[in-house]
Structure 1
Amino acid sequence: MRTQLQIDAPPGPAAPPVPEKSRLPSLTGLRWIGAMLVFGFHVGTMGIMADEGPRTLISRVFGMGLSGVQFFYILSGFVLVWSFRPGEKRMTFYRRRIVKILPNHAVLWLAVILLVGVWWGDPVNPVVAVVNLFLVQAWFPANGWFYSINTVSWSLSCELFFYLCLPLVLPLIRRLPAWALYAVAVALPLLMLVAIWPGQLLVPESWRWWFTQVFPVVRSLEFWLGVVAAELSLRSRWRGPGLPVSLGVFAAAWVVCSNEWVPAVMWPTVLAVAYIVVIAAAARADVENLWSPFRNRPLRWLGEVSFAFYMVHVFVVTGVLRAVGQTHGYSGWAGLAASLGLFGLCLGSAALLYRYVEQPMVRLLGPRRPRYLRPSRAS
């Protein structure tokens, strides 16, 4: 029996019954794992380490860390459907999502403009800057547009597109029978493979990286995979393995894709399957109070600040390296020490951004929580 009832909610699309334990702390903890995959990848590509040996090791471990963004997209689709409020007005949903991402984005946008454009005097294209500020840069395939200002904000441009689409598509998804949802869940990873090859052959060669890695329509395939899996989970129709086996599936997928004999075009499809299996299993573990290594308090806090961490890490690392004149990285143990020091600086900056920007702005600009009435004992 529910402990609270919502009132004054306008009619909306029918939704499946939500399991009693609707909060998913394990998925919050998993957000940090995704952030670390991306950070590890950038440690190997942003010139922190000068020696070939350490860079090769990092590349071996985190060579597919860029797929952490893929993990975030799948997780985002799952969480948004799981937490979707039946009867919520469309504009209220949009407002809740935009105030979650826009303040952090605006702060980092301004910081980059002031540091790079004003302090260091690098040229900044004003049109590109405006396009970036309004988070539409991922729709522009030209170099210097989609990776601009705070370069990681390209992913927010995709997320904004997903947010706009979800309330329009979710009523249709919730009318689909379970067999159709399973068909979609199988088709989406295959469509990812088709989009990468031969789909990229349909666009000019100079646009192929943008088409496969940035284009919001292509990247939305990952988001919709999370959406469909969440809908099946809400209906108690998801039939994936438990969390221990799912983690084994992910580890095996990571090892297999790390081998050179596996074509790179296969990575997104294989990892998408591994990611959604883990996400759905972690959600089930929370609902059924099963074992999960991701719901402890430190990891949940790290998950809460993971978005801020993702937003600051490239800006902090590149800014510090340029400020101290180490554009070619550090040699020997100094490279490892610098990586750990920059990690700590990024985490500290993320904690400040989360505490003094993200949380206050969500409280100030976000919609009020719906009013609730506590039912009588007779209910």
Structure 2
Amino acid sequence: MLKNTAPFHDDTRLPALTGLRFLAALAVMVSHFDHRALISVPDAVISFLDGGRTAVSLFFVLSGFILAYNYSNLSGRTGRVKFYANRVARIYPVTLLALALGALGVAYAIANPASGALMDWYALEEPNAVNIGGSFIAQITVLTGWLPTASLNQPWNSPAWSISCEFFFYALFPFLIVAMKRLTPARVTLVLLGAFVFQCVTIWGARAYAPAGQKGFLVSQFPLTHLFEFVIGIAAALFFLRGGAGWIGRGFNRALLLSASLIPLALIAFFRPVDPAYLLMSPLFAVLILALGVPPKKRASILAWGPLVLLGEASFSLYMIHVPLMNLYSIANTPAWVGWLLFAVTVGLSIAVFKWFETPSRSRVRTMILKLWPAGSSGKHLDRSHA
């Protein structure tokens, strides 16, 4: 029997980061519900949240951090097989559930062309079988982020573009973690600088040379555009595991890191000195995650409060189901107070999905994958990470 080469760290030791995930998902959800006019939020708030775009960047930094924390010793083919099985089991069942919910909206939009839903929800002037079918294939193969056109990117469940990014990052992670662990801190810094320059050049190239209808998607939703965020999350976790956690817990270091991240994050969100804002925010997100990864002295972190942690555990389900449900809600043209009620209902549904669909499906899908891919069948730990 092959030895498990990817020991699991129980990330319940980092509950504040799970709570942080809910706040990020909440920012995305508020922005989307306001955009659909289901709720009414001041324009200044939506501007501060950047329409939820910077929250998704926070997700990517968190993803890199939690994966490196959980799989810091991952190596070898067996470890990679286990890792890939865990990640597919973590993401894909809810992705398919959200796609099924999105199908209800697509069916309504096609059956009711006078409603304008095709254009409003999916940027389609008419029910084009090529675009609808192509988008469905892109969704089920998690490739929407690589297709930067509205007619392919938006139908069914538009937030699935970020799952394209995550699957791309997952494919790279086993090789990134092995390579980055071998590097000195100075070389890790050079890797981060190179990744940041690559991100900037990619954004500049998209804005300078991409067709007008694709610029926004390439800047905001293209997997290569967000690779730096994932890599800096990995680097932050390696620092954390190599003594950084102890250093952060000494004296006032944690409070200083919190101030050094939250204050500039608020200033960038308010004044928006660069566009996209996540260019400057993602390194600060890494600092924030490092600070929150260490609990405060003599008291529990607010983000580690039990109900908030549960909401954080359900945040992936919330992120994936809220747009399909939101589209269906908008058919009724309800007043804002009803929209807030539907907002709360959606949060509650995400908890139900997490408990009674996502969690049991994860175990079954992982077992099924490891039966089909037997090189990873040894070891019984289940990936419980919330990345």
- Shorter-chain TM-score range: 0.7 to 0.9
> Which position in structure 1 is the counterpart of 2:3?
9
Q: 1:257 to 1:86 in 2, by over 3 A?
A: closer
Output one character per residue of 1:37-86: Cα deviation in whole Å (capped at 9) or x when no partner: 21222233222247xxx442432443353211000000000000100153
Between the aligned partners of 1:294 and 1:259, the Cα distance in structure 2 is: 23
Match for 2:15 among 7, 22, 25?
25
Between the aligned partners of 1:136 and 1:165, the Cα distance in structure 2 is: 16
> Which position in structure 1 is the counterpart of 2:325?
316
Matches within 5 A, 1:3-152: 8-9=2-3, 23-49=13-39, 54-63=41-50, 65-84=52-71, 86-87=74-75, 88-117=78-107, 121=111, 123=127, 125-152=132-159
Matched residue type, 1:349 = L
Between the aligned partners of 1:21 and 1:120, the Cα distance in structure 2 is: 44
Between the aligned partners of 2:177 and 2:272, the Cα distance in structure 1 is: 39
Matched residue type, 1:209 = G
**RMSD over aligned Cα, in angstroms?**
3.0
Is the contact between residue 28 and residue 55 of structure 2 (CA under 8 Å) also seen in structure 1?
yes
Q: State whether structure 2 residue 188 is matched by structure 1 residue 176.
A: no
Output one character per residue of 1:209-232: Cα deviation in whole Å (capped at 9) or x when no partner: 122111111111111110111112
Output one character per residue of 1:269-307: Cα deviation in whole Å (capped at 9) or x when no partner: 221122111101122338x99853221211110110000
Q: 1:35 to 1:89 in 2, by over 3 A?
A: same
Between the aligned partners of 1:11 and 1:43, the Cα distance in structure 2 is: 44
> Which position in structure 1 is the counterpart of 2:348?
348
> Displacement of 1:170 after TM fit?
1.8
Between the aligned partners of 1:226 and 1:361, the Cα distance in structure 2 is: 27
Between the aligned partners of 1:118 and 1:259, the Cα distance in structure 2 is: 39
Relative to its length, the structure with more helix (as a share) is: 2
> Displacement of 1:260 after TM fit?
4.5
Is the contact between residue 178 and residue 237 of structure 1 (CA under 8 Å) also seen in structure 2?
no
Is the contact between residue 39 and residue 340 of structure 2 (CA under 8 Å) also seen in structure 1?
no
Q: 1:211 to 1:371 in 2, by over 3 A?
A: closer
TM-score w.r.t. the length of structure 1 is 0.81
Q: Identify the range of structure 1 (81-90 vs 65-74) with the bigger mean alpha-carbon deviation.
A: 81-90
Q: 1:284 to 1:58 in 2, by over 3 A?
A: closer
Q: 1:26 to 1:315 in 2, by over 3 A?
A: same
Matches within 5 A, 1:268-279: 268-279=278-289
Is the partner of 1:93 in helix, strand or coil? Answer: helix
Between the aligned partners of 1:102 and 1:214, the Cα distance in structure 2 is: 19
Matched residue type, 1:66 = R
> Which position in structure 2 is the counterpart of 1:153?
160
- Taking only the aligned residue pairs, the percentage that are identical comes to 22
> Which position in structure 2 is the counterpart of 1:234?
241
Match for 1:166 among 151, 169, 173?
173
Is the partner of 2:149 in helix, strand or coil? Answer: coil
Q: Identify the range of structure 1 (86-95 vs 342-351) with the bigger mean alpha-carbon deviation.
A: 86-95
Is the contact between residue 185 and residue 229 of structure 1 (CA under 8 Å) also seen in structure 2?
no
Is the partner of 1:264 in helix, strand or coil? Answer: coil
Q: Identify the range of structure 1 (307-316 vs 113-122) with the bigger mean alpha-carbon deviation.
A: 113-122
> Which position in structure 2 is the counterpart of 1:375?
none
Is the contact between residue 40 and residue 62 of structure 1 (CA under 8 Å) also seen in structure 2?
no
Matched residue type, 1:350 = S
Match for 2:224 among 217, 222, 237?
217
Matched residue type, 2:351 = A
Is the partner of 2:169 in helix, strand or coil? Answer: helix
Output one character per residue of 1:70-108: Cα deviation in whole Å (capped at 9) or x when no partner: 000000000001001535521221110011111111111
Between the aligned partners of 2:63 and 2:272, the Cα distance in structure 1 is: 31
Q: State whether structure 2 residue 332 is matched by structure 1 residue 338.
A: no
Is the contact between residue 308 and residue 350 of structure 1 (CA under 8 Å) also seen in structure 2?
yes
Is the partner of 2:23 in helix, strand or coil? Answer: helix
Between the aligned partners of 1:207 and 1:320, the Cα distance in structure 2 is: 29
Matched residue type, 1:221 = F
> Which position in structure 1 is the counterpart of 2:121?
none
Matched residue type, 2:280 = V
Matched residue type, 1:235 = R
Is the partner of 1:141 in helix, strand or coil? Answer: coil
Matched residue type, 1:362 = R
Is the partner of 1:91 in helix, strand or coil? Answer: helix
Between the aligned partners of 2:47 and 2:105, the Cα distance in structure 1 is: 33
Between the aligned partners of 2:378 and 2:51, the Cα distance in structure 1 is: 39
Between the aligned partners of 1:242 and 1:278, the Cα distance in structure 2 is: 12
Runs of at least 5 residues in structure 1 that lack an aligned partner in the other structure: 1-6, 373-379
Runs of at least 5 residues in structure 2 that lack an aligned partner in the other structure: 112-117, 119-126, 368-376, 382-387
Q: 1:364 to 1:61 in 2, by over 3 A?
A: same
Output one character per residue of 1:334-376: Cα deviation in whole Å (capped at 9) or x when no partner: x2x234212211112212211221011112122478369xxxx
